[in-house]
Amino acid sequence: MGDTRDSSFDAVVVGSGIAGLRAAIEIGRGGGRVAILTKDDPTDSATDKAQGGLAAVLSDDDEISLHYQDTLLAGDGLCHEGAVRVLVEEGPARARELIDWGARFDREGAGLALAREAAHSKRRILRAQGDSTGREIARALVVKSSEDSRITLLPHIFSVDLILQGGRCAGILAVDEAQGRPAILRARAVVLASGGAGQAYLESTNPPQATGDGMAMAYRAGAEMMDMEFVQFHPTALCVEGAPRFLLSEAMRGEGGRLENFGGERFMARFDVRGELAPRDIVARGIVAEMRRTGHPCVYLSMRDLNPELARRRFPMIAATCAAYGLDIGDDRIPVAPCAHYMMGGVKTDLWGRTSITGLYAAGEVACTGVHGANRLASNSLLEGLVFGARAGRAVLGDSLSSLEGGALLTDAGTALAIDRDAAEATIRSLKKVLWEGAGLLREGRGLGRSIDAILKLERGLGLRAVSRRGVEARNLMFVGRLIAESALKRQESRGAHYREDFPEKDPGRGRHSIIAPGAPAPDLPRFAVPNTE
Active site residues: 280
**E-only strand ranges, 101-156:** 107-108, 111-112, 125-126, 151-155
Q: How far apart are CA 19 and CA 23, in angstroms?
A: 6
In three-state secondary structure terms, 278 is: coil
For residue 445, give every residue at least 6 positions away whose Cβ sits within 8 Å of its Cβ, in sequence order, or none. 489, 492, 500, 502
Q: How far apart are CA 375 and CA 347, in angstroms?
A: 17
Q: Is residue 132 a contact partner of residue 499, using CB atoms and an 8 Å limit?
A: no
CA distances from 228 to 11, 215, 429, 490 (A): 27, 10, 21, 11
Q: How far apart are CA 476 and CA 428, in angstroms?
A: 10
Q: Is residue 157 a contact partner of residue 37, using CB atoms and an 8 Å limit?
A: yes
CB contact burial 91-107 (16+ within 10 A = b; e otherwise): bbebbeebeeeebebbe
In three-state secondary structure terms, 115 is: strand
Point out which residues pair with 115 in neighbouring strands.
125
Q: How far apart are CA 415 and CA 159, in angstroms?
A: 16
Q: Is residue 433 a contact partner of residue 200, using CB atoms and an 8 Å limit?
A: no
* Dihedral over alpha carbons 145, 148, 149, 152 (to 10 degrees): -20
The H or E element containing residue 334 is: strand 334-343
Q: How far apart are CA 518 and CA 444, in angstroms?
A: 26
Q: How far apart are CA 333 and CA 327, in angstroms?
A: 8
Identify the burial level of 50 via C-beta atoms within 10 angstroms of its C-beta, where 0-12 means exposed, 13-18 middle and 19 or more buried.
Answer: buried
Q: What are the DSSP calls for 21-54, one per residue?
A: HHHHHHHHHTT--EEEEESS-TT-SHHHH--S-E
Q: Is residue 255 a contact partner of residue 397, using CB atoms and an 8 Å limit?
A: no
Give the other-Cβ count within 10 Å of 512's Cβ: 9
